[in-house]
Amino acid sequence: MDKLDEIFALQLRFQEKLKQERKLEDIPMEQWLQKQTLAMVSELAELLEEVNFKWWKNPHELNVSNIQEELSDILHFFVSMCIESGMSAEDLYNTYIGKNKENFRRQDGTSLKKGYEVHPPKSEDGQSV
């Protein structure tokens, strides 16, 4: 079992325990995903606090341990949403690999989706197209 598979297995075990003990088994997928998204947004807000996003406030020293903890919390909710939507670790991996390739094509200007390239193609008169 690789690390991503292990993360998915651990999250599934936790999720099943949580649903059983908290009587959450009958929550429809849409509501579960909504709740998990809100929880992830909350964790993202906690991460923002850790990285001094308030430019109007004196910055505090970064605590890398706290940053990593928040990132791990975000991952918990993300993996939970993957599981709930029927996405396996392998599905996530394959989807990521495909999207990563597309992101490179977009930056290189070779994608069918335009507007991402670092150096947009130029027309014969030197104008961006």
Q: List pLDDT tens digits, range 36-75.
A: 999 999 999 999 999 999 999 999 999 999 999 999 999 9
The pLDDT of residue 59 is: 94
Q: Is residue 125 part of a domain?
A: no
Reported as a single tens digit per residue, the pLDDT across 89-115 is: 999 999 999 999 999 999 898 999 888
What CATH number does the domain containing 13 carry? 1.10.287.1080
Is 51 in a helix, a strand, or coil? Answer: coil
Task: Domain count for the chain, please give it.
Answer: 1
pLDDT, mean of residues 17-33: 95
- Judge whether 48 lies within some domain: yes
Closest CA to 48 of 35, 37, 59: 59
- Indicate whether 70 belongs to any domain: yes
Instruction: Print the domain residue range for 9.
Output: 3-108
Residue 123, in any domain of the structure: no
Q: Rg of the chain over CA atoms, in angstroms?
A: 20
